[in-house]
Structure 1
Amino acid sequence: MTYPISGSCQCGQLTYQIKQAPLVVMACHCKECQKLSTSPFSVTAVFPTDAVEFQGELKEWTRPADSGNQNSAKFCPECGNRVYHFNPADLSSIKLKLKPTELEDDALFEPTAHVWVSEKQSWYQLPEGVTTFDKQPEIKK
């Protein structure tokens, strides 16, 4: 894989460059991600914050997570496309959870783990051999 990789929101107002491979790529099956993606799961690629550079305007929205932490999201104010999530109280980890969309090369973002499978849609069949977690695993830096 050659870096940087470019991506954008749906309308193109916000663009970004990914400078390195993600720490992990997960498919999240929690009810909140089902709402977010309007599909059975949402794909998230976890990066150190300095590995992704953004150009354009972002707005922020925050909700409480099941863990009791805050789950903040950055999104495009024009098209509403969710771009990434982060925990504002966890500044020691310095990582963001990118919702990879509109990429030049999407092969990098095949999930290696499926999380919150305790809430997955009953009709969705998990791929054979993929790592699964009933809830949210801790992501190491």
Structure 2
Amino acid sequence: MIEMNYPVFGECQCGKIKFSLKAAPKMVIACHCKECQKLSTSAFSITAIVQQDDIDIEGELHETSRIADSGNTNIGKFCSGCGNRIYQLNPAEPTVIKFKAISSLSDTKMVVPTTHVWTSEKQSWVTIPEGVQQFEKQR
């Protein structure tokens, strides 16, 4: 377990959106699906699963929506200034926040993926550390 002092503060790239994480994430996931590769403009995206009560977000967020392969609705909240994705949620589970801006916090020691999903779509050069849980698709 990583020792952290909460809350931890952060902001989007342009500073219009500010956030504080008040407790440790329930889980940190690296997603290798093609949608997350587009979203992150990288090989994968990092998501921290947090409870709604464990995060405070200030600033005006804009919203996108799409239907995931699972059939669930995925709402994305982002900054209108810089476009940084701040979080996502499934309206059927509004208390579970998929915090995308985890790497923008002032202290990122907790940003260590414990699970990798959609490894069936990962870039061939990405090596997942031994012993880390992984799934070929979303579980």
Structure 2 partner of 1:44: 47
Structure 1 length-normalised TM: 0.92
Whole-angstrom distance in 1 between the partners of 2:110 and 2:125 = 26
Whole-angstrom distance in 2 between the partners of 1:57 and 1:90 = 22
Aligned with residue 125 of structure 1, among 106, 124, 127: 127
Structure 2 length-normalised TM: 0.93
Could you list the structure 1 runs, at least 4 aligned residues long, displaced by more than 4 angstroms after superposition: none
Whole-angstrom distance in 1 between the partners of 2:128 and 2:41 = 18
Whole-angstrom distance in 1 between the partners of 2:120 and 2:33 = 8
Structure 1 partner of 2:97: 96
Whole-angstrom distance in 1 between the partners of 2:126 and 2:103 = 22
Secondary structure at 1:35 match in 2:
helix
Structure 2 unaligned runs (5+)? Answer: none
Task: Confirm or deny: 8 A CA contact 1:9 1:102 kept in the other structure.
Answer: yes
Structure 1 partner of 2:22: 19
Deviation at 1:102, TM superposition (A): 2.0
Whole-angstrom distance in 2 between the partners of 1:77 and 1:68 = 27
Whole-angstrom distance in 2 between the partners of 1:63 and 1:17 = 26
Q: After superposition, what is the alpha-carbon deviation per residue over 1:28-49, rounded to whole angstroms, capped at 9, x for unaligned?
A: 0011000000111000000011
The equivalences for 1:101-112 within 5 A come to 101-112=103-114
Structure 1 unaligned runs (5+)? Answer: none
Q: Percent identity among equivalent residues?
A: 55
Q: How many residues align?
A: 135
Q: CA RMSD in A?
A: 0.9
